[in-house]
Structure 1
Amino acid sequence: MHAKNLCLSLTSLCLLAAADTALAEDWQYSLKAGMANAPRYSGSDERMTAPVLGGKIISPWGIFLDTDTGLGWGYEGNALSFSAYVGASDSRKDKNESMHAGSKRLKGMGEIKSRAQLGVNAAYNLGGVIIGATLEHALEEDKHKETGKAFTHLELSLGTNLYEGRYGSVDAAINSHFGDRNYLQTWYGVTTDQATRSRFKEYQASAGNISNGMNLSWSVPINEHTQFSTLLDVQYLADKAGKSPIVERRLQTSVMGMVEYTF
């Protein structure tokens, strides 16, 4: 899982703390910095460590600009949270780069380019158990026929707070990821042309379950405006993705540590 997705997982877990009002009374700003260690790509047995940097601005009317999701509008009530946004999708390279997901073991597979992405996220608090869903649709990237098709990804989750006290807050969530045929083929499939250029045999992926897993986060306040958070993410690639010849390890684990300053 990429650092961006780790941040999104941490953000989803933070929905466990429901807001009292739908709109902020004033502008809100936050900056974050940290480090993440994750597989070089989904299914890789190599690992990479990369910095995590970002920020977010929220207006009094719910409009936000977030380095993780993009430009959008959000609502937070006592039980319901909702957001819609336009941003950029993930990417993958077929060579090793310290700041980008990918590996030289994918040589010949071509680059999966980032492209415009539409997303919606919703969470509902059922007495301490949070039901969440995130749907993202990446638009077509015309220049690359093999890896540029439009694709759709869905995440469903159940989360809860395990601890709240003098040592901070511990939250946990279980989740499942699903994708349409284009998503699975883009990230896990191997076309005839890719097979001739790479070390992998041809593999036609189909729509379905991508992975199932869990997140565990621990957030500790440092002062009124600053907190330190750690996140452990564990995913097990399901058959639709796990049988791909590019997958070297089906059990994928990622960790992240981050300091966030809000003002």
Structure 2
Amino acid sequence: MSSKTIYLCVTSLCLAPWAHAAAAQDWQYSLSAGVANLPRYSGSNERMTAPLLGAEVISPWGIFLDTDRGLGWGYEGQRASFSAYVGASAGRKDKKKSGHAGSDRLQGMGEIKSRPQLGISASYSLGSAILGATLEHALEQDDKKDSGKAFTSLELSIGTLLYKGDYGSLDASLNSRFGDGNYVQTWYGVTPGQATRSRFHAFDAKGGLVSRGLNLTWNLPISEHTQFTTLLDMHYLSGDAGKSPIVERRLQTSVMGVLKYTF
């Protein structure tokens, strides 16, 4: 399915409930803090532990500003949700630096700089299953650099509630991530120039399936305004991403815990 088709589908999904979203009464604010243990870069067998700090503001009209997605608008109904946002893409360094994704093993590959990113996300509840899709497009930073081209990724997911009771709730979801040629080349490819400066041989990565994964999320309410969330993310690099010479381990796992206060 093309990005234009996805955009039209999720846009039409959200237009009907606009009046309901605009009728919301209160501003919502939240602060979050936690810690994550994850690979130093996608495909690495080195790990890093980093703090997680975040904040979010949601207006009565659905406009939001948060440290994760950026600035956008969203709607959340009984069965469907939608959001569109402008934020910053992820980045990667070619040396080990505290709190930043990257590794000395990537020396010579150059830095993948964060750049403006456009995103749309939608979900729909179908019985006990929740279908989701997130499309993101990072703008061009410099088309003459190895990692400066614009790129696009799409994540599809299906999730369900496994448990809800005295100990909070446990959700599980299966997901697949796809990327265009620039996305896969930026994160997993090795250009001839990068090959001359690094330990890796040249690798022309093609677009397609990037990974398949499983998420487990445990939400534990502590009080009316406070919640603790633990996330276990596992995904297996596929296609050209999995064949990349920079990939040391295809199965990637991340664990994080976050305390969130809403007021």
Structures share a fold, TM > 0.5?
yes
- Whether contact under 8 Å (2:27, 2:60) holds in the other structure is yes
What amino acid maps onto 1:22 in structure 2? A
Structure-to-structure mapping, 1:23-42, within 5 angstroms: 23=22, 24-42=24-42
Distance 1:240 1:80, change over 3 A: same
1:41 is matched by which residue type in structure 2? Y
Deviation at 1:143, TM superposition (A): 7.4
2:199 maps to what in 1? Answer: 199
Spell out the pairing of 1:50-69 with structure 2 (5 A cutoff): 50-69=50-69
Give the structure 2 partner of residue 162 of structure 1.
162
Distance 2:52 2:173 in 1: 22
Deviations 1:1-56 (A, max 9, x none): xxxxxxxxxxxxxxxxxxxx635320000000000000000000000000000010
Q: Aligned in 2, Cα 1:143/1:206: closer, same or farther, shift over 3 Å?
A: closer
Specify the alignment match of 1:22 in structure 2.
21
1:165 and 1:262 map into 2 onto residues whose CA distance is 21
State the distance in 2 between where 1:141 and 1:189 align: 17
Task: Determine if contact 2:189/2:204 at 8 Å carries over to the other structure.
Answer: yes
2:175 is equivalent to residue 172 of structure 1: no
SS in 1 for 2:21: coil
Shift of residue 144, structure 1, vs aligned partner? 5.7
Cα deviations by residue, 1:41-89 (Å, 9 ceiling, x for unpaired): 0000000000000010000000000100000000011111000000000
The list of structure 1 runs, each at least 4 consecutive aligned residues, that deviate by more than 6 angstroms after superposition, is: none
Q: Which amino acid aligns with 1:259?
A: L
Choose between structure 1 and 2 for higher RCO, CA contacts under 8 A separated by at least 6 residues.
1
Deviations 1:131-178 (A, max 9, x none): 000000000002761100000010000001111111001000000000
Give me the TM-score of the superposition, normalised by structure 2. 0.91
The separation in 2 between residues aligned to 1:203 and 1:86, in whole angstroms, is: 31
C-alpha RMSD over aligned residues: 0.9
Q: Which residue of 2 aligns with 1:5?
A: none
| Cross-structure match for 2:15 | none
Q: CA deviation at 1:98?
A: 1.4
Secondary structure, aligned partner of 1:97: coil
C-alpha distance in structure 2 between counterparts of 1:156 and 1:207, whole Å: 16
Sequence identity of aligned pairs in percent?
A: 71
Q: Which residue of 2 aligns with 1:184?
A: 184
CA shift at 1:97, angstroms?
1.0
Q: Counterpart in 1 of 2:115?
A: 115
1:85 equivalent to 2:85? Answer yes
Q: Distance in 2 between matches of 1:237 and 1:120?
A: 23
Q: Structure 1: state its 5+ residue gaps.
A: 1-20
1:132 and 2:132 are equivalent in the alignment: yes
TM-score by length of 1: 0.91
For 1:111, give the aligned amino acid.
E
For the Cα contact (< 8 Å) 2:143–2:149, is it kept in 1? no
Q: Which amino acid in the other structure matches residue 203 of structure 2?
A: Y
